[in-house]
Structure 1
Amino acid sequence: MRTLGPGSIASVLKIALDVAYVVMILVTGLLLLLWVASIFIPLDNLNVTVSDGADGREMPLSRPLLLFGLGALTAYFSGFLLILRYLRKIFRTLTLGDPFQPDNVRRLRQIGLILAVVTGGVWIVQGLVAARLAPGVMEPQGISDLLTPVFSVLVVFVLAEVFREGARLRRESELTI
């Protein structure tokens, strides 16, 4: 089976990305609706248990806590929705058999930036939760927990440069007689 062009592995992956994109739109939309609804729903006598394994800490569920949690979750899924959006556009060019387009360089850079923001946001939010919401129950993440995500972000930026070089070479070859 071919890797690029119509009927290729790239086209199958494009279909999978399309399905994931629709699912992510639905999940993000539902979370956004829950966030808006949480402004109005009564929270009398509701508790939340925060745990990191066997032990846990029960505390009352306040509106700011609920809004913060749903907002953070919505932002997390929104970031990945944007990443899927750009990946779909990249895979569309792969399906057409024309991957080295300048737009793909921009898209890969945007994916890297969004991935960096999501990674940093998760790290900060987990640190806040560990320090403020569940001190002694949850451990804050350390710098070592960022190694794999930072490596992934760097790989995306390197791929963007590979695509930039490919687009440059393609442009040069088009000018050659």
Structure 2
Amino acid sequence: MLKIALDVAYVLMALVTGLLLLLWAASIFIPLDNLNVTVTDGTDGRQMPLTRPLLLFGLGALTAYFGGFLLILRYLRKIFRTLTLGDPFQPDNVRRLRQIGLILAVVTGGVWAAQGMVAARLAPGVMEPQGISDLLTPVFSILVVFVLAEVFREGARLRRESELTI
């Protein structure tokens, strides 16, 4: 059941990422005359003109966000494949888990920086920038992934040792 869920999520994420990439490319040529965007935090809002750099930044950030999670799902599917084969403690899975942790760190940092830029540049006084406390849960999750990678590394080492034992 988990394999099916991973496969479905991967296909959906690939479709969303591909669509966003096409929209990003198309937004280079879309005329933006008299279009406005409203920036709000739920209670107060501010209207501003929609400019091409703003549109490219927004679509590019969304594409990168979903693309990062597409890569994470790709690595999870490969890890799950080794699990179904009965051999999850492989050096490749250690590398995959470390890459997942790195991608999570980059996505988390990117979201934090982008929200800070939006709060400071686009909507000062409307949106509050994220604080360090908003990073606690994502950083904890990233640390869990890196610890899990070390557990897999130790499992791979123990498996290798047991294969050499007569």
What TM-score bracket applies, with the shorter chain setting the length? over 0.9
Q: Alpha-carbon deviation of 1:14?
A: 1.6
The corresponding residue for 1:158 is 147
How much has 1:100 moved relative to structure 2? 0.5
Q: Secondary structure at the match of 1:172?
A: helix
Any idea what SS the aligned residue of 2:48 has? strand
Shift in Å, 1:53: 1.0
Partners in 2 of 1:163 and 1:14 — Cα distance? 20
Counterpart Cα distance in 1 of 2:84 and 2:127: 45
Q: Displacement of 1:95 after TM fit?
A: 1.0
Q: Deviations over 1:23-50 (max 9, x none)?
A: 0000000000000010001001100000
Q: Percent identity?
A: 92
Find the aligned partners of 1:42 and 1:169 in 2 and give their Cα distance.
61
1:126 corresponds to which of 115, 130, 134 = 115
Deviation for aligned residue 1:153: 0.3
- Deviations 1:81-112 (Å, cap 9, x if unpaired)? 00000000000011111110110000000000
Q: Which runs of 4+ in 1 moved over 6 A?
A: none
How many angstroms apart in 1 are the aligned matches of 2:163 and 2:86?
A: 16
Secondary structure of 1:149's aligned partner = helix
CA deviation map 1:121-159 (0-9, x unaligned): 000000000000000000000000000000000000000
Aligned equivalent of 1:169: 158
Identify the range of structure 1 (166-175 vs 12-21) with the bigger mean alpha-carbon deviation: 12-21
The normalised TM-score by structure 2 is 0.99
SS in 2 for 1:53: coil
For residue 13 of structure 1, report the CA deviation from its aligned partner: 1.0
2:62 to 55, 73, 82: 73
Match of 1:141, SS state, is: coil
Q: Does 12-21 or 80-89 show the bigger shift? A: 12-21
State the partner residue of 1:8: none
SS in 2 for 1:57: strand
RMSD: 0.5
